[in-house]
Structure formats: structure tokens, C-alpha cells
Homo-oligomer: A and B are copies of this chain.
Amino acid sequence: MTDHIVEFQPHNVKIKVPDGTTLLRAAMEAGVHVNASCGGEGACGKCRVIIEKGQVEGGGGKRLSEQDLQEGFRLACQSRVIEDLVVRIPVESVVDASVLNVAKTSRQTARVRQFDLDELKEQGLFIPPIEKRYLELPEPSHEDNVADATRLVNFLKAKYGEHRLVVDLPVIRKIPDVLRANHFKVTATLARPVQEGRKTRIINVQTGDASSRNYAIAMDIGTTTIYGQLIDLHSGQILGEYGDFNGQISYGEDVITRIVYAEKPGGLEKMHDVVVGTINKVIGKIVKQAKVDRDEISTITLAGNTTMTQLFLKVNPRYVRRGPYVPASTIYPPLNAAQLGLDLGDHVDALVYPIISSYVGGDIVAGVMGSGMYRTEKMTLFIDIGTNAEIVIGNKDWLACAACSAGPAFEGGGIKFGMRAAKGAIEDFLLDPVTLEPMILTIGDVGAKGICGSGLINMVSLMFEMGVIDNRGKFNRDLKTDRIRENDEVYEFVLVWADESQINRDITLTEIDIENLIRAKGAIFSGCQTLFEEVGLSVGDIEQVILAGGFGSFVDLTKAMTIGLLPEMDSKKITYVGNGSLMGCKMSSLTNRIRKDIANVLRRMTNFELSETPSYMDHYMAALFLPHTDLKLFPGLAKHLEDSRDSQRSFPNISGRASS
């Protein structure tokens, strides 16, 4: 078979591939990232590339216009290499991790809540999971020649009152040389049992006094991004933090396409290897940032949704995506990190957060544990919004949860110019009330490339308030502006003209985009309503809201209420915890109290399958308006709309429309 050379620009990478290889596969093998939402079926149209030199076979499809084709655009997943090529990856198709690691701006709109070690100690919640003990042991003699491990155990008992100690095999393997390297001066790392009365394991020994350096890693395995933190177990401080895109993205953007991939022969192993690869990259970065030796890391805690958890642990998620949606297990025993492929010492346990159900995963459990929701008296609504939105309601006495499929709108999916919250994404937006000329703010303050989730919410909320769109999400046809136009029978609003954009195309917001956003927010709102109804409460009973997920950090809460995504309430009651999954992992690293409480929380948690709850569809249909069919649920907003519209132009009456 003949091979061809494919050169990728702007990366300037060349690769030799066999005749007939798809460009997506060629890019993957060359290590060149191209967005590919649909797993290579030509459906999402995200993997647009420009053929600068040479010809490919195929590569068209309904996602490309005639003009696109003439300009050399092809879908990488549909194009087969038949000769040498030069291929340019357009900016909007490149995954750029740099934005994940920029310092957060002050745009946060809800109070950030993170526990620290001192607070745990004050509240009596501090049970150290890992401790180091330094000992100067007497050297052995013919009168006293007990085994090295026995000597260590005996003196840990005598000097520190330790008891019920067991010694792990990696420790036995290294203890003879470690003891003799420095006159039997040694530091032992002790891993405490979660249940009292169980055994304390000696998991590591180091020469000399290494007791002051004791570190842990927390890791959130997200479908899109993987975030890690390196934590000093003495101070509780975060010494390193890094995020990267989950390498599995190249095999499909959502969990379903990943599960499908994992069902192919060798697919599960590949998904495992790839996610482990990304985790190792993140570990490498944070270890370097914190100037810590890998051998000084004593433990790692990881959390992810059910599919990410199963792929990471090489447990086939085949039945997670098929009714009745049964996961393999909720709880995983502690595992050896090195055996899972992690670049850590062989003494390191990997603790993986348990999951609730196929669609309420370890990331949510971590959020519930880490936020302290499970210990509070207050009736709490916890929401983690991403592609799926997971909702937990309850307090220290009981908990109920559900997942609703919001669709990918909040992450830019299903939106014509949607993109992740990466450089060039429009994140905020204002409109001149007279000229309707927009004011655009992008992440990274560069030329606009597309619209991210928070930008979408902000612009739809504003346009709705201003009457540019009505409560069904349709543009006001009467407005006199060339920015509102009909294109391929779809109305759209031109946010950025082609010559001002970074992608040389008009960036628009279409009515289809708005419809998708309304569906997404409707799914979440009706999910909350249904769950409340099932437990016999109403939205008004909520005493606090905890928002988790990247979502909360950029979205204006008032605007989220305006479109009916969140129930209307005093925003002082809303707490934002950021990455709840990562926070939960960090908290488990700091205290065993969390791990001890998890079993109880799992028992107290009731999972509701919304698809099996008849009232959900009614609630959903009623929520497919801005903000809702029943404006009484949003009294403040109703009042505000009346006031502001009275004082501006006379757009059609909102409540009138809603009842039509």
C-alpha cells in the first residue's frame, strides 16, 4: 500500500500515513488536536480543516456550504488521504488548553466557598489520612536481630504509641537498604484506616528525616477537562494546579461517543491509556510547579462522572448508556496508583470517589462531600452544570439526586458558532438599545472566534430583556437592523462581521441556537422542579444553592434567572464552589472524615431517574419559554420586565404571548 505525507499547519508537523487514512486519524497520530464532537460521523461539522495543497477523497457533507467547499474547507473525519497534502487547522478547530490555566478574573458573580485545614480542625473534622513519623532506630546486633520491618513497627509502637500496623510489600522491598543508608534514621509514612479499629498501613519509608514533606494530589477527571492540584498535607495549601483537555476528546466529545469507542475491540484499553496519559501530564506539571519529588506524594484522590470513572478504571461502560442504565459498581476499593498506570511511587493508593448512578457520578459525590452540603441543616440545592446537569437536594438528614441531559449548549455544542470557554470565545455582551450595535468581550481579549456558554446566556438574557427576542426565543421581525437577517430560512443575529472576526466569517446567533439554549435551561429547571415535587417540597423551600462546575464562575446569576435557568431567589443565598469534584478530592486528601462519612451519604441518597418520572415531561414543556410559561415563578423578573419595557419601547406584551 502506498503512503502519503500529510503536513499540518500551523503546527508544522508532518506524518506519513497509508493511502485511504482519514485526515482525523492522521491528525490524531500526528498529535495535532482537532475538535471532533461526533466521533467521526460527519454529523457535528466541528472538524473543519482547509486543504491548502493536494486533493482528498470525500470530505464534504451537509455541514459545509458550497462556499466552504470552494474555499478548501473539508471535514477531517470524512476526508481520505489519497496523495501528499498540506492541511491547515483553522483556529476554531484547535483545542487550546492555555485558557484553562489563566488566573481567574474578577467576573465571578457568586461567593466562592472553599474549606481550609484550619476550619476542619476547628470543627473537629480533621482526621489525617496520611502521616509521617521520623525515627532513629538502634542498629541491629547479634543480640537484637529482629527483622527490619519488625524493628520499625516496634519503635513506632514504643515512641508514637502506634498500634495495629501492617507493612506493605513495596516497603518490605526497600526497607533493608533505606535503613542502612543513614544509620537506621528513617521516616515512615502511615496511611490511616477510614474505620477506627482497622489497621494502619506503613506505605513508605524514606532515609533520614523526611517528615516535613508530605503531599497529596487531587484530580478531577472531567469529560472535557482534567484538573489536578498538589496539596501540602501539613499546611493544607495548594502548591500546584493545572488543567488540560482530556485526551479522549480526540475520540469523541461526549460520554456517549466515548462509550461507543470503548465497545470496539481494544477501545476500552485505549480510552484508559489516553485518560491516564492526560492525568500523568497533569501530575507532571503540578509536581514541577510545586517543586516536589514524585516519591514525596503519599496519596491521590480522583473523581469523575460514572463513564469517566469506568474508563479510567478499565471497567467497560457498555451498560451505562443502555436502558435501564446500570453502572458496574458504586464503590471502588482503594487501588494502587502505579498499577493503574499513574506516574507515582508504588506506595501510592489511588482513591476513587464512589458514584451514585449511571448519570450521577463521583464528581457530584465529591461536590456534595467537599461542599459540606451533607452536614448542613439548611435545605440545599446543589447544581453542577455541564453537558449534563446534576441536581442534588437535601441536607444532613436526607439527600435526593437526579441528572438531566441539558445537551451540550452550555459548552458550545449545538450552537452554530458555539465553542468552549477558550480564547476568542465571546463571554459577555451588551447591545446599544437604539442602534442594536453590540459590544463584545472575549476570553483572552482577542478577536472573536465563537460563543461560549456564559456568553450565550448573557446575550440571550439581554436580548430578551430588551425585547429583541420574545419569550419563545424568536427575533423581533420588526426591528430595523441589518444584523437581524434570514439565512437558509433561519433568522439570526450577526454578532461579529466576517472582517472583524478571527475566523473570517460572520459570527451569528441563530434562532436554532436560542432554541437549543431554551431546551437546555428548560431541562435543568424542570429537573429541579420534578425533584422537589418528588420529595414533597417546592422551590421556595430552598435555603441555599450551591453551584458547581466551570459554569458558575463566568455566568451572571441574575441573567441565569432571567432566562429561567435558575429559580429566582436572593443571590446572597447562592454559593459558588467552582470545581466541586476537585474540591471534594482535595478535602478527602486532608481528612479521613470525608471518606468515613461517604458510606452514610450513599445510603441516605435517593436517585431519581427523571426519564421514569411522568411529571418531568410536563414540567419540561412548561419550561420551554423565557423564563417560563408560569411567570408567577419569577415575580421579580416579571415586575422588572414590565417596568423596563414601559419605560422603553412598546414591544409585544410578554405575559400575553406566554399564554398564547
Contact = CB atoms under 8 A, between A and B. Distances in A.
Contacts of A146: 326, 330
A169 interface: yes
Interface string A313-326: 11110110001111
Contact of A167 (B169, B197, B329): B329
Contacts of A145: 324-326, 357-358, 609
A149 B329 contact: yes
Interface string A171-200: 011011100100000000000000001100
A143 interface: yes
Nearest to A139: B324
A141 B611 CA distance: 13
Interface in A364-380: none
A169 B309 CA distance: 12
Q: Which of A143, A318, A332 has the most CB of B within 10 A?
A: A332
A324 B172 contact: no
Contact of A316 (B144, B177, B329): B177
B149 A330 contact: yes
Contact of A141 (B176, B316, B324): B324
B147 A326 contact: yes
A150 B330 contact: yes
A357 B141 CA distance: 13
A157 to B, nearest CB: 13
B147 A330 contact: yes
A74 to B, nearest CB: 39
A498 interface: no
A324 B142 contact: yes
Contacts of A136: none
Contact of A315 (B173, B315, B332): B173
Contacts of A326: 140, 145-148, 176
A333 interface: yes
Contact of A172 (B169, B332, B358): B332
Interface string A224-237: 00000000000000
B147 A329 contact: yes
Given A166-B333, A330-B147, A330-B149, A315 B142 contact: no
Interface string A249-291: 0000000000000000000000000000000000000000000
Contacts of A198: 198
Interface residues of A, number: 48
A390 to B, nearest CB: 16
Nearest to A149: B329
A188 to B, nearest CB: 14
B333 A169 contact: yes
A197 B168 CA distance: 22
A308 to B, nearest CB: 15
A331 interface: yes
B142 A328 contact: no
A327 interface: yes
A327 B147 contact: yes
A298 B255 CA distance: 36
A318 B178 CA distance: 13
A333 B168 contact: yes
A454 to B, nearest CB: 34
Given A140-B324, A167-B329, A169-B335, 18 more contacts: A144-B324, A145-B358, A147-B326, A147-B330, A148-B328, A148-B329, A149-B331, A167-B331, A167-B333, A169-B313, A169-B333, A172-B315, A173-B315, A175-B328, A176-B316, A176-B318, A176-B328, A198-B198
23 contacts: A140-B324, A144-B324, A145-B358, A147-B357, A148-B326, A148-B328, A149-B331, A167-B333, A168-B333, A169-B315, A169-B333, A169-B335, A172-B313, A172-B315, A172-B329, A173-B315, A173-B328, A176-B315, A176-B318, A176-B328, A180-B319, A197-B197, A198-B198
